[in-house]
Homo-oligomer: A and B are copies of this chain.
Amino acid sequence: MTDTSGAAAGRRRHRVREEALADAMRIARRLLVEEGPAAVTVRAVAREMGLTAPGLYRYYAGHRELVQALVSHLYDELAAALAAARERQPADRPGPRLREVARELRRWALAHPNEFTLLFAKPVADADTAPGAAAHDPSWRFGTVVLGLMVELWRRGGVRVPADLDPGWAAQLEEVREHLSGEPVPLEAIYVFVASWARLYGAVAVEVFGHLDFALTDPGPLFEHTVDDVLAMLGDPAA
């Protein structure tokens, strides 16, 4: 009647499919949050979508793909949260921006322990996360927010570059540099970036997984101290 064009119909079926996929993600997410990682199951998601288990196979090739899609979805969400945090500070002050982003990373992780666990503690590297194929994997999307600010800090000078850079690293760090929008960042600075990144990420992980519970009820100040250190290492002029 109104529109019998094939292209429009094609677009519509595509849209419906997209909505079903989004629905599955919404449900999987809720199961993860409310009942833990073990609850995000093919049958449970299918059930809540109003269809039988094999029906879900029209959308995901199996349980593995389902949770992989969820992981990717969560990386995007985290990246968006970090980007939003970054925008809460003036663009010309990368130091405060990085601090805000670091805080948001911790906040997000603490507020979403199940999600963070899924992202952080994938038992074994997915094999396609080998060094080199960095830019394509989902985790890059949120790491890049932090890395971008570090580049910004480097541009303003002040990053304390180490004198003795392990020679074996040149090749890999080179690889990372290529993904930094062609910035001529020296390898020594990239090394500092990686070290800083590892420190922030590690601090959050240790706290989220409760390995500080034996001593601290509020590790917040400890984390602030870590951020101070990292910013000092990156030569934040406002630190």
Q: Which residues of B contact A130 (CB under 8 A)?
A: 213
> Does A181 make an interface contact (CB < 8 A)?
no
**Minimum C-beta distance from A71 to chain B (A):** 13
Q: Which residues of B contact A36 (CB under 8 A)?
A: 123-124
A172 touches B206 (CB 8 A): no
Q: Which of A207-225 contact B (CB under 8 A)?
A: 207, 209-219, 221-222, 225
Contact with B along A163-183 (1 / 0, CB 8 A): 000101100110110000000
Q: Which of A117-149 contact B (CB under 8 A)?
A: 117, 120-125, 129-131, 134, 137, 139-140, 143
Partner of A222, one of B140, B198, B222: B198
B169 touches A216 (CB 8 A): yes
A49 to B64, CA, bound (A): 30
- Contact of A122 with B210 at beta-carbon distance under 8 Å, contacts A202-B205, A225-B195 already known: yes
Query: Interface on chain A toward B: helix, strand, loop, or mixed SS?
Result: helix
A203 to B226, CA, bound (A): 13
> Does A93 make an interface contact (CB < 8 A)?
no
Partner of A172, one of B114, B129, B216: B216
> Does A113 make an interface contact (CB < 8 A)?
yes
Contact with B along A216-238 (1 / 0, CB 8 A): 11110110010000000000000
**Minimum C-beta distance from A40 to chain B (A):** 12
> Does A194 make an interface contact (CB < 8 A)?
yes
A209 touches B129 (CB 8 A): no
Q: Which residues of B contact A108 (CB under 8 A)?
A: none
> Does A199 make an interface contact (CB < 8 A)?
yes
Which residues of A come within 8 Å of B, CB atoms?
A: 36-37, 113-114, 117, 120-125, 129-131, 134, 137, 139-140, 143, 166, 168-169, 172-173, 175-176, 190, 194-195, 198-199, 201-203, 205-207, 209-219, 221-222, 225
7 contacts between A and B (CB under 8 A): A113-B123, A125-B213, A131-B213, A131-B214, A169-B216, A173-B215, A199-B203
